[in-house]
Copies of this chain bind each other. A is one copy, B any other.
């Protein structure tokens, strides 16, 4: 067993000085349960009632194994069988991206389900939330989350979108529906709202309780402005839209962001004032996506029955597009994407005639929350309804955005 001590020692020497690891020697509550985002049949990751994430992995020859969550790395401890086990500090309720670090390699936890975000497909963990009932899987009528491919002239490629159709859609004959176009954040893609966002379950439950009207939700990939391009979904070599953009910084297989919140968090001004938040995505939206949806689904194809919302980068895109195109959308939502005010609008006369609602939200742990009410007040002065929402105890993460959608959806098309 001598090699273990030698390697452990050298490992400590190498990494000790740079370590960000925390240890949790104290009072870890031993009521861990297998997480809802753990793969079926796997025993780890687990979460306890404090919101700590514990995982475990066999790595007999490893010198150091860590769980990396919320931009902090926590050391796991090795037992005599070579199994490393350990846990994080308590995390906010809701969903978080995370990863493991094995002797310097950042990899997904083989026990977790995988989600696309933080510029990579990788591990995610669900911390049970007090209000989890609103996105729970219930025995109510369920809508369909449809994966669809369509041809975009803007990108000259076949693109993947997701479309949520409400539970009554297939049986309602000639009935037409309003449409919400709903965008993800930076480093995420068109799968985000349907997977970690739990959009289908939020809507199914709201509709079952009579709290929201049934409407269609359309989710595209808005990362086209930033080199993200379309994620090849079920790809084939040589097929249209299949060439992944090279990203030299990621050449060693490292995700652009360690599994935390950092990469997606816009600063006070958003990541890069001067970045084009409408750009190619606006062309896709206006020239390709809306026409495709309006000719392939039974939708009310007018401005009164069209909404645009997004989280973070998607919120900034929403602001850019709606303020520059006052005749396109009636309902506007920005979730953790900053604020918008009448000063952002080019043609206020047209905007006032058309826009019914500007909804803005943040997590209470985000700085932007403090600026919401003043912005809403400005809208209310103009006669356009300004509504704000602050998600208690959450940061720039999906629990904030699930709750924002839950609030926003109840205000739409009424």
Q: Could you tell me which A residues sit within 8 Å of B by CB distance?
A: 2-3, 6-7, 10-11, 13-15, 34, 36-44, 55-65, 81-83, 99-100, 102-111, 113-114, 119-122, 126, 128, 132-133, 135-139, 142, 144-151, 158, 163, 170-171, 189, 194-195, 198, 200-201, 204, 227-242, 244-248, 250-256, 296-297
Q: Determine the residue in chain B with the shortest Cβ distance to A163.
A: B144
- Taking a contact as CB atoms under 8 Å apart, the answer to whether A201 and B234 are in contact is yes
Which one of B2, B111, B122 lies within 8 Å of A110 (CB-CB)?
B122
CA distance A11 to B107 in the complex (A): 21
A110 x B107 contact (CB < 8 A): yes
Q: Is the CB of A237 within 8 A of B132?
A: yes
Residues of B near A240 (CB, < 8 A) are 137-139
Chain A's interface: helix, strand, loop or mixed, by majority? Answer: loop
* Copies per assembly: 2
**Given the contacts A3-B14, A103-B102, A137 and B149 also touching, CB distance less than 8 Å:** yes
The listed residue (B137, B227, B241, B297) touching A170 by CB distance below 8 A is B297
| Given A55-B253, A296-B170, A107 contacting B107 (CB threshold 8 A) | yes
* Known contacts A110-B120, A296-B170; A198 and B253 CB within 8 A of each other: no
B residues less than 8 Å from A150 (CB atoms)? 142
What residues of chain B lie closer than 8 Å to A250, measured between beta carbons?
Answer: 41-43
B105 close to A136 (CB less than 8 A): no
Min CB distance, A295 to chain B, in Å? 9
Residue pair B132, A236 in contact (C-beta under 8 Å): yes
Question: CA A114 – CA B110 in complex, angstroms?
Answer: 11
Expressed in whole angstroms, the Cα–Cα distance for A65 and B253 within the complex equals 14
B39 touches A104 (CB 8 A): no
Residue of B nearest to A85 (CB): B252
Bound form: Cα–Cα A122–B200 in Å: 25
CB distance from A81 to the nearest CB of B (A): 8
Partner pick for A253 among B36, B111, B126, B201, CB 8 A cutoff: B111
